[in-house]
Amino acid sequence: MVHYLQNKYNGASERRTYRAVGMSLTTFRYASHSQDDQELEARIKQLADDNPRYGCPRIHRTFRKEGRHINHKKTARIYYKVLGLAHRRRIKKKLRSCQARGNSGDSHNR
């Protein structure tokens, strides 16, 4: 539409034409820099399947050793959200009570 108006009004400037239409010039000229992460997703999935004890930080360190310099937040986003791998959490051990150990309740107070 803008190029049509430029031709109609004898080569009006691009900036003036976009202003008349009500559109920002930077919006029109924007070029996306998104990258395809299919290869990265496949590698994370392979590492997670081959090494079930590897979590996200360990997989990120493996990438660094392989020579891939990827932001740790991107690695985490793919690991947790895209691939749906679980957050691995440590389970705290429960402390046994005195009675379960065979002591009477007041022997530790003496």
Residue 110 has pLDDT above 60, yes or no: no
| Same domain assignment for residues 1 and 27 | yes
- Does any domain span residue 60? yes
Instruction: Note the pLDDT of residue 107.
Output: 56
- Does any domain span residue 102? no
The range of the structural domain enclosing residue 52 comes to 38-82
Question: φ, ψ for residue 82 (rounded to 5)?
Answer: -75, -50
Over the stretch 24-63, which tens digit does the pLDDT of each residue have?
A: 878 778 888 888 889 999 999 999 889 888 889 999 999 9
Residue 75 has pLDDT above 80, yes or no: yes
Instruction: Note the pLDDT of residue 84.
Output: 80
Instruction: Note the pLDDT of residue 71.
Output: 93
* Selection from 22, 16, 80 nearest residue 48 by Cα: 80
- Does any domain span residue 95? no
- Does any domain span residue 101? no
- Does any domain span residue 109? no
- Does any domain span residue 56? yes
Answer yes or no: are the C-beta atoms of 4 and 18 closer than 8 Å.
no
Instruction: Report the C-alpha gap between 66 and 46 in whole angstroms.
Output: 14
- Does any domain span residue 88? no
| Same domain assignment for residues 45 and 21 | no
Residue 104 has pLDDT above 70, yes or no: no
Instruction: Note the pLDDT of residue 93.
Output: 81
| Number of domains into which the chain is organized | 2
Instruction: Report the C-alpha gap between 62 and 75 in whole angstroms.
Output: 11
Instruction: Report the C-alpha gap between 88 and 48 in whole angstroms.
Output: 12
56: how many CB neighbours lie within 10 A of its CB? 19
| H-run or E-run covering 59 | helix 56-66
- Does any domain span residue 57? yes
Residue 67 has pLDDT above 90, yes or no: yes
